[in-house]
Amino acid sequence: MLSLLVFLPLAGLLACWAAPAKLARVINVVTCGAVLALSVSVWMQVDYGAAGYQLEESHAWIEAVGINYHVGIDGLALSLILLTTFVSFVSAIASWKIEKQVKGYHMMFLLLLTGMLGVFVALDLFLFYVFWEIMLLPMYFLIGIWGGPRRQYAAIKFFLYTLFGSVLLLAAVILVVLQTDTWSIPQITAMAREAMTNGDTAGILGSVGLSLAAFIGMFIGFAVKIPSFPFHTWLPDAHVEAPTPISMILAGVLLKMGGYGLIRIAYPFFPTAAVDMGLMVSILSVIAIVYGAFVAMAQTDFKRMIAYSSVSHMGFVTLGLASGTEIGINGAMYMMLAHGTISAMLFMIVGVIYDRAHHREIGRFGGLAWVMPKYFIFASFAFFASLGLPGFSGFIAELTTFVGAFNGPHQTWAIIALLGVVITAAYYLRTLQKVYLLETPDVYKDASQYPDLTRREWAVLLPLAAVTLYMGIIPATAMDMYSGFIVNHLVPVLNVSVGLLTGGLV
Amino acid sequence: MDWSSIYPAVVLTVGILGVLLADLLTKGRKPLVPIGMTIACLLGAAAWALLLDTSGTTVLGVLVVDKFAVVFTVFCCVTGAITVFATMRGEAFRRPGGEFLVLLLTAVLGMNMLAMSADLIVLYLAFETISIPSYVLVAMRRADAKSNEAGLKYVLFGAVSSAVMLYGLSMLVGLIGGTSLEALAMAAQTPVTTQPMFVVACVMIFAGFAFKISAVPFHFWAPDVYAGAPSSVAGFLAVASKAAGFAALIRVVGATVTAPLQPLGDALGSLWPQGNVWFGILAIAAVLTMTIGNLAALRQREIKRLLAWSSIAHAGYMLLALAVWSEASLAALLFYMVAYLFMNLAAFLLAGISIRELGTGELSAMRGLGRRHVGLALAFAVVLFSLTGLPPFFGFVAKLQLFYAVFDQGFVWLGVIGLVNGVISLYYYARVIAAMYLQDDDDEKPAKTMKLAVPDAMLCMFLVAPVLVFGVLWWGGLWDWAVVVVRDLPYIVGAGS
């Protein structure tokens, strides 16, 4: 079942390759739709109240070194898989506009989808790493071939940054596998938990220093993807240059890989090191939130502004994680899901106006609300969702993260992070005013040049808006799905290690 | 006396004479006859080597047949055969003449002897048997000034490093009182190795090896020679010649691996817990070689020079495996070499084909190749990503095993330096890929699309398919095999884990 889910896009890729170029778009949308449907049927089969992984498949792969093809999911992975298939589906629709080398584009798109899904289902570190890296290749080409004027620079910057993170991750993985003698993620997680319950602060690596080094290696590896300050500088370039659908996937799904890696691998493997580094991670998160928001405010390029707002919002993910509290980590996960749909929407909104105006200068727009009223409604919807207005998913995410952070050990820093929320509101409202309100310049008054949303744009924006609204009103659907691992496993282990580090008392 | 172990060498020798004769008799009118003979004889020698009894029998005490020797013989013969094909498809000459084939066969013969050598004198002779034909192979295109210059540079560097090595060998022989590796292994157990002279001798011998494997600081010849030589010959030097150098290095280091701590002091000893003179030399050389190789490659604008620097960097990774010296690291080295054979021969073959088609090796000329020459560009991209060490390609698992072994021996810092070097290498490999795929905005419509000729495509498939297949499947079996080969090595007393 899961293998089918992961490799179905590859079948689509082969179909794309064999079919004539004009069919490529259709094949991509159909494949993404099938994958979405399949992921929903997986959802129906998973009982996320149950402990452990479900729909597991395990086959010996490279027996000589104990590597298995081992896949399986729990609610945590499931929530992100649903996000992935959903965002990919709407991005596939948004990809209709791509005219250059159509066949190659859709093949790369589908390869990317396989890599993303693979990361979320892999339960073997080798498999995880292979999928993790496989994503880089199509992304490099998608930015590099179909991107904007500085695409070559952006593509290689993205590639180098993430590969640098990846090799540190690989180094940490090798250390872990050397000590534990297994590549299995569930087994290593169990070992780390056992070490904690036995009061062994040295953890799976048998040494406090080595654990710390390995945790830092993994943290950097994942933080580059998130991207956390100070590893975020590839993101604005990649986003600005990437074509709209790829920006949507990049912000909607790829950034979530880093958070998933932290929750699934880095924190459970090295709970003591994670608690040790909590303050550091909190500080970096707060810098990302506040600094990201300030930089977003300073942008004149619409897309670049959205990109920096991603840096700022992903800071909440690490802030919630660093709190080590149940509600904080749940909030971090919620932020990932909420940001997934909201940021995809925001990039689509930039894409819509870029397609018409062929520029993204905030200062050159004005009064678009009077020309394209339906577009304006979606834009303000996305803006308010992103700045955390109650009723939208972003609000739930920020609220829970802050509650968690205030309950955690690093409250002072959480207070500073509140500043970020205010600045976020400021730049969104300012942009809303500059782009959509005020006087309409004459260039934008031509209705034939600036038609309101097309049917295809509706098809992209409406589902995203619906999910954002749904998640803002009924957060339990998503939260129940993923919280099992966090509540039953991660937080207890982190609490034990806090106890160990502070001298016995939990 | 069991002579069967030198039959592969006999096959090669007969082949050399046969090809020479065939070339004379056909007067170059039927070029396919000597080419066919050469390939038959290379594959015959490889097949015969595989049939040999590998229980470690020695011939006259100077040649030893173990699995290791067989593996390297097969490795070099296969590389030689691919080189012949690649030469026919590359940029230099469509039909390599008899003298080219004879020289190639002679070099392979030298490699065969080197892999089997159990004696320092034979080792040196085999070294020269490889070097001298290589000098001529490089300068083969007489009309090309670059080729001549490359040949001359190669001779000069080769002669100097060879002389230094010989001097080191003479000192070593004086110290241990014998020329066999067995004598060396026995002497390594005695205090003789604590003499400064021993260290000096080791360093000098390393100079010779470093030249062959193009390790820093004996690497200066490589970019000029690779750029000047036909790309098939460059591939041969980068793969077979380098592999032979590593084979000899493994034999010599293996014999002295148990030598007690050198007089350089405890400072080094604490850095290299094994406390052997070689580890300091090899680790420093490894770090310098990969770092300098990668950094210099960043600036290259010509494909063959770029590949030359990249092959220097790869020698650094392989030296890393030698420096940490364990059963796993040697197996990883062997594993890496197999991956390297496919990746690098493919890279040089593709470079040769693209130079043939485009008329130049400049990266800027490769613009838009991804659309004009789909097959060539795709194969090139796979090979370059594999050389970078990205999954799901062979180069990734080779690096994984190598760094796993390095970490296993406790050298986390060496491993991290190596891994970060992999990131640096991405930049220049990606430049080639960027030229082929990312820079095509001059004309929306490609001028004309080209397809790989059938022989090109078949040769590419033969080299590129393993890069893909071994990256995902079957590499476990290859790894098991590498471990078996390494366990069989004589004198590797110190190999732990």
Own/partner long-range contacts of B167-172 (Cβ < 8 Å, ≥24 apart): B167/B204, B168/B200, B168/B201, B168/B202, B168/B203, B168/B204, B168/B205, B168/B206, B168/B207, B168/B208, B169/B120, B169/B124, B169/B201, B169/B205, B171/B197, B171/B200, B171/B201, B171/B204, B172/B120, B172/B198, B172/B201, B172/B202, B172/B205
- Using CB atoms, which residue from B407, B422, B427 is nearest to A178? B407
Of the listed ranges A166-170, A194-198, A299-303, A373-377, the one predicted with least confidence: A194-198
For residue B98, what pLDDT is reported? 82
- CA-CA distance, B297 to B387, in Å (whole number)? 13
DSSP state for residue B292 in the 8-state scheme:
H
pLDDT-derived band of residue B94, with 50, 70 and 90 as boundaries? low
Kindly tell me if the per-residue pLDDT of A36 is higher than 90.
Answer: yes
> B272 pLDDT exceeds 80?
no
Contact assignment for A64 to B477 by CB distance below 8 Å? yes
- Look-up: residue for tokens 């584009």? A105
Chain A residues with CB under 8 Å of B400 CB are: 170, 174
Which residue of A lies nearest to B440 if distances are taken between CA atoms?
A145
Distance from CA of B303 to the nearest CA of A (A): 19
Q: Given the structure tokens 């021969």, which residue do they identify?
A: B345
pLDDT at position A503: 66
Query: Buried b vs exposed e over B319-339: b needs ≥16 C-beta within 10 Å?
Result: bbbbbbbbbbbbbbbbbbbbb
pLDDT value for A497? 85
Confidence bin at A121 (pLDDT 50/70/90): very high
Average pLDDT value for residue range B461-465: 89
Tell me if residue A6 falls in helix, strand or coil.
Answer: helix
Q: How far apart are CA A292 and CA A226, in angstroms?
A: 13
Q: Please tell me the distance from the alpha carbon of residue A33 to that of residue B434, in angstroms, as a whole number.
A: 32
Mean of pLDDT values over A96-106 = 86
Dist. CA A202–CA A404, nearest whole Å: 27
Q: Does the beta-carbon distance from A155 to B438 stay under 8 Å?
A: yes
Q: Length of chain B, please?
A: 497
In a domain, B226, yes or no: no
Residue B197, phi-psi category: left (phi > 0), alpha (psi -120 to 50), beta (remainder): alpha
> Is B407 close to A175, i.e. CB distance below 8 A?
yes
- Band (pLDDT 50/70/90 cuts) for residue B269 is very low
Q: State percent of chain B over pLDDT 90.
A: 35
User: A184 Cβ partners below 8 Å, 6+ apart?
Assistant: A68, A70, A123, A124, A125
B430 contacts A171? CB cut-off 8 A: no
- B273 has a pLDDT exceeding 60: no
Query: Is A160's CB within 8 Å of B427's CB?
Result: yes
Q: What are the tens digits of pLDDT across the range B393-418?
A: 999 999 999 999 998 888 888 889 99
Q: Give chain B's mean pLDDT.
A: 85
pLDDT grade for B448, boundaries at 50, 70 and 90: low
Residues of A in contact with B476 (CB under 8 A): 61-65, 67
pLDDT digits over A311-360, tens only? Answer: 999 999 999 999 989 999 999 999 999 999 999 999 999 999 998 888 89
Give the pLDDT confidence score for residue B375 in this predicted structure.
87
Distance from CA of A231 to the nearest CA of B (A): 15
Query: Does a structural domain hold residue B33?
Result: no
List all residues of chain A from 146 to 175 with a beta carbon under 8 Å from chain B: 151-152, 155-156, 159-160, 163-164, 167-168, 170-171, 174-175
A-chain CB neighbours of B426 within 8 Å are: 159-160, 163
Tens digits of residue pLDDT in B46-91: 998 888 877 767 777 788 888 888 899 999 999 999 999 888 887 7
Per-residue pLDDT at A335: 94
The answer to whether the CB atoms of A171 and B407 lie below 8 A apart is yes
Q: Average of pLDDT values for B188-202?
A: 79
**Is A65 within 8 Å of B476 when comparing Cβ atoms?**
yes
Contact B419 A159 (CB under 8 A): no
- Whole-number percent of chain A with pLDDT over 70: 99
Q: Which of B425, B438, B468, B479 to mutate to test the interface with A (most CBs of A within 10 A)?
A: B438
Average pLDDT over residues A224-248: 91
pLDDT tens, B313-364?
999 999 998 888 888 888 999 999 999 999 999 999 999 888 888 888 888 8
Q: Is A156 in contact with B434 (Cβ distance < 8 A)?
A: yes
Domain membership flag for residue B129: no
Question: Are A129 and B420 inside 8 Å of each other by CB?
Answer: no
Q: Inter-chain contact A134–B392, Cβ cutoff 8 Å?
A: yes
Nearest by CB to A152, which of B416, B439, B475? B439
- Give, to the nearest 10 degrees, the angle between helix A185-197 and helix A491-502: 40
Specify the pLDDT at position B460: 86
Residue range B143-147: mean pLDDT, rounded:
82
Q: Which helix (H) or strand (E) is A55 found in, with range? A: strand A54-62
A382, A302 Cβ separation under 8 angstroms? no
Whether residue A175 and residue B412 make contact (CB cut-off 8 A), yes or no, is yes
Question: If you average pLDDT over every residue of chain A, what do you get?
Answer: 90
Choose the weakest-confidence range: A223-227, B174-178, B425-429: B174-178
- H/E stretch holding A2 reads helix A2-18
CA atoms of A92 and A98, how far apart (whole Å): 10
Does B87 reside within a domain? no
In a domain, B371, yes or no: yes
Which residues have C-beta within 8 Å of that of residue B267, sequence separation ≥ 6? none
Residue A250 in this model has a pLDDT that exceeds 50: yes
pLDDT at A64 over 90: no
Sorting pLDDT into bands at 50, 70 and 90, what band is B267? very low
Alpha-carbon distance A472 to B154, whole Å?
A: 71
Region A105-132 average pLDDT:
94
Taking an 8 Å cut-off on Cβ atoms, the answer to whether A64 and B480 are in contact is yes
Residue A93, pLDDT score = 92
Chain B residues contacting A via beta carbons under 8 Å: 371, 385, 390-392, 396, 400-401, 403-404, 407-408, 412, 415-416, 419-420, 422-423, 426-427, 430, 434, 437-439, 444, 475-477, 479-480
- pLDDT the model gives residue B282: 86
What local confidence, expressed as pLDDT, does residue A491 receive? 87
The helix or strand, by DSSP H or E, that contains position A57, with its residue range, turns out to be strand A54-62
Q: Is the pLDDT of residue B386 over 70?
A: yes
Three-state DSSP class for residue B117: strand
Q: Which of residues 87-116 of A touch B (CB under 8 A)?
A: 100-101
Per-residue pLDDT band at B382 (split at 50, 70, 90): very high
Residue of A nearest to B388 (CA): A163
Which domain covers residue B493, as residue numbers?
290-497
In total, how many domains does chain B have? 1
Lowest mean pLDDT among A261-270, A288-297, A304-313, B21-30: B21-30
**Whole-angstrom distance, CA of residue B320 vs CA of residue B311:** 14
Query: CB–CB of A309/A427 below 8 Å?
Result: yes
User: What is the per-residue pLDDT for B268?
Assistant: 47
**Pairing state between β A67-73 and B57-59:** unpaired
Highest mean pLDDT among A62-71, B1-10, B286-295: B286-295
CB pairs A-B closer than 8 Å: 81
Residue B497 pLDDT = 31
Task: Determine the pLDDT at residue B491.
Answer: 58
Instruction: Flag whether pLDDT at B260 surpasses 60.
Output: no
What mean pLDDT comes out for the span B128-155?
Answer: 88
* Residue B446, pLDDT score: 55
Q: Nearest by CB to B385, which of A61, A137, A168?
A: A137
Q: Residue A253 above 50 pLDDT?
A: yes
Residues A434-492 pLDDT 10s: 888 888 888 888 778 888 888 889 999 999 999 999 999 999 888 888 988 888 888 88
Peptide bond preceding A227 in cis form (omega within 30 of 0): yes
Other C-beta atoms closer than 10 Å to the C-beta of A419 total: 14
Query: Distance between CA A487 and CA A337 in Å, rounded?
Result: 18
Q: What is the ipTM of this complex?
A: 0.88
Residue B453 corresponds to which tokens in the numbers above? 């000729």
